[in-house]
Each structure stands twice: as C-alpha cells, then as structure tokens.
C-alpha cells in the first residue's frame, strides 16, 4: 500500500454510539510494536473503554518525516499487529487535512455528541506536550490518561502540562471513571511496562 492508496475505510471516523466510552490513541506507529499493544490493553481495561481508536497520524508535526514510512504501510502494519476487535485502526486525520491534535479533538467532539472520549498517551509525551499546538485547549477538551513508560515514570514531576494542571489530576484508582470527569482531568496509570520503541526497532536494536 502507498500513501496515495490508503483504503477508504481508514479515512472516516469509526462508528460509535451515544453513551460509549472511547479511547483516542494517536501515534506515528513507525513501526507499531508490542509496547503500543500493551498501552491499548491497559487503557481498555483500566479506563473501562468500549472502543479504542488507534489513530495513525499522517505525521507528527514535531518530528522529521525523513524516516517516516508511508501512511498506508503504517496502517497495514498496525492492522497485522492488532487483534482485539475493540481496537479500531483509523487514519481519518489524513482526510481532515490537519496533523494537529487540537484540531482533531475539536472535530471529534463536534461530530460525536453523547460519546465520552479520553485521550491516551505514553508518559514520554509529557516532556514535549507543552509544544503541541494549542496544548491547553487539548487538556480542556477531553480527559487524558497518561500510561507509564520506562524512562518516563517521573515525567509528571517536571512536565509543564502536569504542573499547570496539577489541580486536575485524578487518582489512578479512579481511572475507570475518568471519562465521566469534565476536562481538564488527567491521570497517570502505572502497570506493566514495555521498553520497546519504534526508534530502536528502526535501528535494529531490541
């Protein structure tokens, strides 16, 4: 598959119904790996999700695209890896024409009234989150679940996002009701961890 030939099914938002709880897991997935699967599993279980959208980005605005595999290839690799039918692989951001999460989330919110969304990201993302476009508006759109990652366990102590929104932190024992909280609300989820990274896989280091 090439970037020009992304199957249509991936370019529209997955189908959801009012009342559902849906996790939004955005990533480059260049390539996808078992660490991503572990995040998805933990999120489904701990957040009480009905669905998790595995959102393959057209390109992280903060990363160089020089080593980025085509969108079609990253979707195909994800589809091969993911077995859980609750996980929906999608690349609808490509059709939106913007790689920015703030834009994506406001679009999702406007199109899916009555659906409860939670943004999901690995703990390493906290380090640069304040450089994401309109990062404060992202925090105020949907609750956020941060999943622990080796090397980033203490990132919440120094992150600008977590310090700014310290008052909005929810105990991880309440992760199952995070979706009910009005944003801003976030939690840090500890649990089994994977040291896998796409960078190491690209370098051939395990």
Ligand X SMILES: Nc1ncnc2c1ncn2[C@@H]1O[C@H](COP(=O)(O)OP(=O)(O)OP(=O)(O)O)[C@@H](O)[C@H]1O
Ligand Y SMILES: O=C(O)c1ccc[n+]([C@@H]2O[C@H](COP(=O)([O-])O)[C@@H](O)[C@H]2O)c1
- Which residue number, 60 or 136, has a Cβ lying nearer to ligand Y? 60
When the beta carbons of 14 and 176 are compared against ligand Y, the nearer one is: 14
Partner touching 94 among ligand Y, ligand X, none, CB below 5 to 8 Å by kind: none
The single residue among 51, 125, 141, 155 that binds ligand X, judged by CB under 6 A, is 125
Q: Minimum distance between the CB of residue 134 and ligand Y, rounded to whole angstroms?
A: 8
Cis peptide before 50 (omega within 30 of 0): no
How far, in Å, CA of 33 to CA of 14, rounded? 22
Start-to-end Cα distance in the chain = 26
The residue from 14, 31, 48, 61 that contacts ligand Y (CB under 6 A) is 61
Q: Give all strands of the β-sheet with 186-189 in edge-to-edge order.
A: 87-90, 51-56, 21-27, 116-122, 144-147, 186-189
- What is the Cα–Cα distance from 175 to 180, expressed in whole angstroms? 10
186 binds ligand X (CB under 6 A): no
* Closest distance to ligand Y from the beta carbon of 131 (Å): 7
Which residues of the shown chain bind ligand X in the complex (CB under 6 A)?
27-30, 35-36, 39, 121-122, 124-125, 147, 149, 194, 196-199
């Amino acid at each position: 598959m090439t970037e020009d030939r992304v199957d249509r099914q991936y370019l529209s938002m997955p189908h959801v119904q009012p009342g559902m709880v849906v996790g939004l897991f955005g990533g480059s997935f260049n390539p996808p790996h078992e660490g991503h699967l572990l995040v998805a599993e933990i999120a489904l279980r701990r957040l009480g999700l009905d669905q998790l959208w595995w959102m393959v980005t057209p390109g992280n605005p903060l990363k160089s695209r020089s080593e980025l595999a085509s969108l079609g290839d990253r979707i195909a690799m994800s589809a091969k890896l993911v077995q859980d039918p609750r996980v929906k692989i999608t690349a609808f951001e490509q059709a939106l024409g913007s790689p920015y999460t703030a834009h994506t989330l406001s679009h999702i919110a406007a199109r899916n009234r009555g659906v409860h969304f939670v943004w999901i990201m690995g703990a390493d993302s906290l380090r640069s989150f304040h450089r994401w476009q309109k990062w404060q508006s992202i925090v105020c759109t949907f609750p956020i679940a941060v999943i622990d990652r080796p090397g980033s366990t203490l990132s919440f102590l120094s992150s600008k996002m977590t310090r700014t929104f310290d008052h909005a932190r929810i105990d991880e024992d309440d992760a199952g009701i995070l979706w009910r909280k009005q944003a801003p609300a976030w939690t840090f989820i500890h649990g089994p961890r994977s040291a896998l990274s796409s960078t190491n896989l690209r370098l051939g280091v395990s």
